Structure 1
């Protein structure tokens, strides 16, 4: 086992700020000397550690547009006792950094995150090089790209690794294609950890009992290694093997409190990752006690953001202000709706002759499939996919919302069309975008918890539909290369819904109404339309059990298309072009622009770490965890590897905030997500549309559930389309990737083609 121990810096003095630093920075450089109180404690033989440990450590976390930064945020929140402040590498000028770090003394240390690209590229590394150069007396820890930046700023060369390592591990997880060239390391930098193992393992392989050699080698005073596990292997490794395989994994500066690790301590699979951050905290505390840094700092509140202007912080933009908590009701204000829910339960309605298809056809088939929805779930084993939800154009609250982005850049706004149950439409331009509109709509709804007590599912009426992939421009992406022909979002507000419980055959009928418009304020409903729908729907369902199964939409078994025999799918890209795109992706991976990975286990690990990051933006510090990692679930036609990531949502954030943080799903982009989306945009000729977006619901009481759209047939303007692709990894074979893409599209396209042919042959 191995864990990085960052040693305490020298006690005599720290190196001065480099000569090229501004004079004001030199004025704030301090000599190291203990405080009188600390000297008195030491004179009595008392340790200063309890005093330092009792005081939280405040970290400035520089985000290099990475998809793992908020994993560091979560870990540092636990270790430090207060959450770090997250600032992107191009948000603050050097003057901003200098004022907050030196004049205001708002931070005790700095952590520089991983990120895509190279420290040699100013666009990739931003302000980080200047921070490393001029903050000579501030404890700094660089991770991956931050580690490489520490080497680069002092003259080391950044080169391609012998092979790209993504999602592979030997006790630590690595995502990188670039490394610091060991032979170029300047005298000021000391290697405190390196790998000399030519073979790296997947997550599951790393748990094998016969794996005994350690990934790391280094002096024991800088790195904690169990000698019993590596001594025999040390004798076996010759100098030639060490020289050929040695890759620097850890650095420290000889006279500054600056450290770097090439691996990812924040990964869910890294052994002792939190211990590394705790060691860095101790380094910071020890340094602060010597330098009076902690005693003299101006900010003492646990809310360490109090001295930082909120408009300067990336993380603060996620804090959208105080909101009405779930279940809390306030006086009616402008645009507020107080929705009340009524529902009925029909026990054990499902039978061998009545299934959910029969229910949908009987209740909504007359609408010929228009203005209806059916979120079907039929896999009931192991309590998976227990409920199906369906509905159609209903009561007075029903409406359809469609949204088209007005441009292809971020913050471009878009056109919103709202159609109500009577067919009236309203069209408006929304400058703030669809996500903000949806957020305001959900936040305007007040509700009573007791209305849905006893219901075993989470959707009780509200918004249901899809969010298209193009909405990524409202979730951190810079642009869309192409404009989608399908709406970028389409949702119904469903006030009347039917829920089927596949576990026990029960069926629930639910109806929403606005209390403010259906009564005189005394809570007694004056509008019985929703009651009538409940009663009538219950009667129709009870009659259904006596009818034969196999009803068809609109009472017709089939609807023939005159050109059914000629219908077939056309591949949007030629084989040669697809292979060229794969080869382009491999180039980006080699250059460190993407953390793509090997298939299966390493792929799953990368996505788990990415989703931990996304949840970390909106969850309480320390609450994000992984109860299931790489479990295997079996379905009728496939075995799939499944991991579960959980977290406790911050109380002042709502459903749309969570979607903004995680959309689009990282499994459809790769990591780092922002850079990966830029690369995909440059390669893909046509918009993804609904594909790679999400289908699901936002319940009126702020629960929500969304999927990621894959292997789905989209019908629009008389055409059927299916999106398909694959994750391009460092070891991808372009020909095999093309065949995999065709295989993924085969099942959904075959359904459409077989159905079309069956209709034609029926005549």
Structure 2
């Protein structure tokens, strides 16, 4: 099975595909049909039996792990991109050997897609012995090794936004004009903050970010050949398909800072919960995602089990809804993603027109930000996040995307402050390590 030789798959604008195998050999190709069609064919070429993974308490059994950049919206019905991404539009590596850690029950699973009694199959035994050795090490020693603080902060330069405060406020006002004219109901306006950095311990940065801003859909990805590393602490799920063909989206719309005292914190939480503006933002995106999932789900199966719940994280409270549905049997996993990408919480509604408006207002490509990180398993399940609260390190520069949803009730100055709030946790993590 040739998939077992894959190491990295990179897709760039214009349809260029680069595949690197485990030995470093590179294959280049041009994809007329696009990345999603390529990935769909790759996943459909896998042959698997349910008995191979029965009893495992998770859905990933090997396959592709990586990211889909925001610019791939053009393969999902959006108009052309005005700005070229500085990073590849998609990067994935093929994981044929996998270690899964269940933190809740303190269990470790070792999986391999390689045939038994082959040179590659020795990986299972070797890894088991290494993990036993790690288990014998003290937790404290591992924490000291991985979470050590940098001895000297070398670079005190601050992040610089692609747009000034005044320009961002003007962009919000432009969004409000489009909304007043009936062009859109909601526009998710964003920008990028950038900072030149020296050599940085990206894994240490990620662990620090995860410690200070823990989130359920966090990820660390390193593509050394691209000089690219992603440190993500996202609290938001874009879309998941489980082994029972159930789809789930959990969009976030509505964010407020945590309070400095328990009393203030509870007041702010209630303020978010009953905010007319935030409820409007959230409900519009719920309707959008109900429509997206309705295109690929069995009739009558799409429902909203949780509407506008408030979830609390280290630095913010957020308003989250859950939309579910039963995938139609004749729709592939990749086409489920294509029907809903990019996540509606990062675009606005109506989706296609909102993306077109935002493309004309925003001054640079979103790149990886606003896209998705996650996996596509060989058993045709997937789980993808929304790339927010994330540091992208590429060619000596750290970048952070941030923004917010603009609706008719939005205040331009408040929207700027919300953008800064959302960028603060990843920015502080970089300043701590750089």
Give the TM-score taking structure 1 as reference length. Answer: 0.44
Over 3 Å counting, the alpha-carbon distance change for 1:398 and 1:555 in structure 2 is farther
**Given the alignment, which residue of 1, 11, 16 partners 1:403?**
11
- Asked whether 1:736 is paired with 2:337, we answer no
2:118 corresponds to: 527
- Asked whether 1:589 is paired with 2:179, we answer yes
2:432 corresponds to: 754
**SS at 1:613's partner residue?**
helix
Distance in 2 (alpha carbons) for counterparts of 1:636 and 1:576: 29
Over 3 Å counting, the alpha-carbon distance change for 1:512 and 1:558 in structure 2 is farther
Q: Alpha-carbon deviations, 1:579-601, whole Å to 9, x = none?
A: 11111111100110001295221
- Asked whether 1:719 is paired with 2:397, we answer yes
2:78 corresponds to: 477
1:694 corresponds to: 372
- Asked whether 1:643 is paired with 2:321, we answer yes
- Asked whether 1:540 is paired with 2:148, we answer no
Mapping 1:287-306, distance limit 5 Å: none
Structure that is richer in strand per residue: 2
| Cα contact 2:73–2:342 (8 A) shared by 1 | yes
Gaps of 5+ in 2: 188-275
- Asked whether 1:429 is paired with 2:14, we answer no
Distance in 2 (alpha carbons) for counterparts of 1:526 and 1:533: 11
Q: Alpha-carbon deviations, 1:35-68, whole Å to 9, x = none?
A: xxxxxxxxxxxxxxxxxxxxxxxxxxxxxxxxxx
- Asked whether 1:617 is paired with 2:295, we answer yes
Once the two structures are TM-superposed, the CA of residue 652 in structure 1 deviates from its matched residue by 1.1
2:306 corresponds to: 628
Distance in 2 (alpha carbons) for counterparts of 1:456 and 1:537: 20
2:168 corresponds to: 578
| Cα contact 2:65–2:93 (8 A) shared by 1 | yes
**SS at 1:585's partner residue?**
helix
Once the two structures are TM-superposed, the CA of residue 441 in structure 1 deviates from its matched residue by 0.5
Gaps of 5+ in 1: 1-336, 340-395, 407-413, 519-524, 757-763
Once the two structures are TM-superposed, the CA of residue 728 in structure 1 deviates from its matched residue by 1.1
Over 3 Å counting, the alpha-carbon distance change for 1:552 and 1:400 in structure 2 is farther
Once the two structures are TM-superposed, the CA of residue 557 in structure 1 deviates from its matched residue by 5.2
| Cα contact 2:48–2:379 (8 A) shared by 1 | yes
2:357 corresponds to: 679
Looking at both structures, which has the greater relative contact order when contacts are Cα pairs under 8 Å and sequence separation is at least 6? 2
Once the two structures are TM-superposed, the CA of residue 633 in structure 1 deviates from its matched residue by 2.9
2:155 corresponds to: 565
1:511 corresponds to: 112
| Cα contact 1:397–1:494 (8 A) shared by 2 | no
**SS at 2:155's partner residue?**
helix
| Cα contact 2:296–2:328 (8 A) shared by 1 | yes
| Cα contact 1:459–1:699 (8 A) shared by 2 | yes
1:458 corresponds to: 59
Q: Alpha-carbon deviations, 1:597-646, whole Å to 9, x = none?
A: 95221211111111000000101111111122222333444333222111
Q: Alpha-carbon deviations, 1:254-277, whole Å to 9, x = none?
A: xxxxxxxxxxxxxxxxxxxxxxxx
| Cα contact 2:388–2:401 (8 A) shared by 1 | yes
Mapping 1:269-280, distance limit 5 Å: none
Q: How many residue pairs align between the two structures?
A: 345
Mapping 1:287-326, distance limit 5 Å: none
1:606 corresponds to: 284
Q: Alpha-carbon deviations, 1:515-573, whole Å to 9, x = none?
A: xxx5xxxxxx441422x111111111111122233448998957789x82244311110
Mapping 1:368-407, distance limit 5 Å: 396-406=4-14
1:488 corresponds to: 89
Give me the CA root mean square deviation: 2.2
Distance in 2 (alpha carbons) for counterparts of 1:553 and 1:592: 56
Distance in 2 (alpha carbons) for counterparts of 1:649 and 1:573: 41
Distance in 2 (alpha carbons) for counterparts of 1:637 and 1:461: 34
Once the two structures are TM-superposed, the CA of residue 398 in structure 1 deviates from its matched residue by 4.0
Over 3 Å counting, the alpha-carbon distance change for 1:639 and 1:755 in structure 2 is same
Q: Alpha-carbon deviations, 1:281-328, whole Å to 9, x = none?
A: xxxxxxxxxxxxxxxxxxxxxxxxxxxxxxxxxxxxxxxxxxxxxxxx
Once the two structures are TM-superposed, the CA of residue 743 in structure 1 deviates from its matched residue by 1.4
Once the two structures are TM-superposed, the CA of residue 505 in structure 1 deviates from its matched residue by 0.4
Once the two structures are TM-superposed, the CA of residue 478 in structure 1 deviates from its matched residue by 1.1
Distance in 2 (alpha carbons) for counterparts of 1:482 and 1:741: 21
**SS at 1:695's partner residue?**
strand
Distance in 1 (alpha carbons) for counterparts of 2:2 and 2:294: 32
Q: Alpha-carbon deviations, 1:227-256, whole Å to 9, x = none?
A: xxxxxxxxxxxxxxxxxxxxxxxxxxxxxx
Once the two structures are TM-superposed, the CA of residue 451 in structure 1 deviates from its matched residue by 0.8
Larger radius of gyration: 1
**SS at 1:726's partner residue?**
strand
**SS at 1:565's partner residue?**
coil
Over 3 Å counting, the alpha-carbon distance change for 1:651 and 1:636 in structure 2 is same
**SS at 1:417's partner residue?**
strand
Give the TM-score taking structure 2 as reference length. Answer: 0.76
Over 3 Å counting, the alpha-carbon distance change for 1:428 and 1:754 in structure 2 is same
**SS at 2:331's partner residue?**
coil
| Cα contact 1:476–1:674 (8 A) shared by 2 | yes
